Amino acid sequence: MGRRFLVERRRDPYYRAAQREGLRSRAAFKLEHLNATYTILEPGDRVLDLGAAPGGWSVIALAAVGRNGSVTAVDERSLEPLEGLERLRGRVGSPELARRLEGREFDVVLSDMSPRISGAYSTDHARSAELVEAAFELARGTLRSGGRFVAKVFDGDLVKGLERKLASHFDEVRRTKPPASRERSSELYLLGFGFQSGRASE
């Protein structure tokens, strides 16, 4: 981790706020904004949080769904315990994880997953699109009818194809970039509302 990155992070108001408020990561503010703008999370929802470590989105999701809801956090890395949070170790895209979730149903599937950054933009964009594909494949088997889906992707020429795929399974699809995303970052979020499980796959 370079000195420049550490200096920029210390100056980042979202990073400082996350540290101050115990939100585990600055990414928490991204979900907080998305939820305030689009009402992704509702009291009583069952939420599947993919690529959850270190748990920033899980903190926000737990607060939003309340005591009658639930949050299941999935990551290959270990997650620190959090009251009310179900933790699953697993890789998104693996048949084993799909089997472990078989028969379960969620109101919301979230994915803030990012690929390991190679520095080659076309490669990183393609890998981020693959993560969205893997998250959506898992969502197709676990989302209830009418459910919601959120996934991060790096902007690029594959985004329109992802939007078309989501549009074939959701009543409404949006793309957005929360204020907490760094200005120079190419990340954006694809949102799907009104999942229709009976629609034909592409």
| Catalytically annotated residue among 30, 152, 160, 177 | 152
Do 193 and 41 touch, CB atoms closer than 8 A?
no
Q: How far is CA 185 from the centre of its chain?
A: 16
- The answer to whether 188 and 152 are in contact (CB under 8 A) is yes
Q: Is 152 a catalytic residue?
A: yes
Local structure of 110: helix, strand or coil? strand
The C-alpha atoms of residue 23 and residue 82 are separated, in whole angstroms, by 11
Contacts 24+ apart (CB under 8 A), 76-84: 77/53, 78/53, 79/52, 79/53, 79/54, 79/55, 80/24, 80/54, 80/55, 82/55, 82/58
Query: Residue 32 in contact with residue 58, Cβ under 8 Å?
Result: no
DSSP codes of every residue in 142-163: HEEEEEEEEEEEE-STTHHHHH
Active centre residues (catalytic): 152
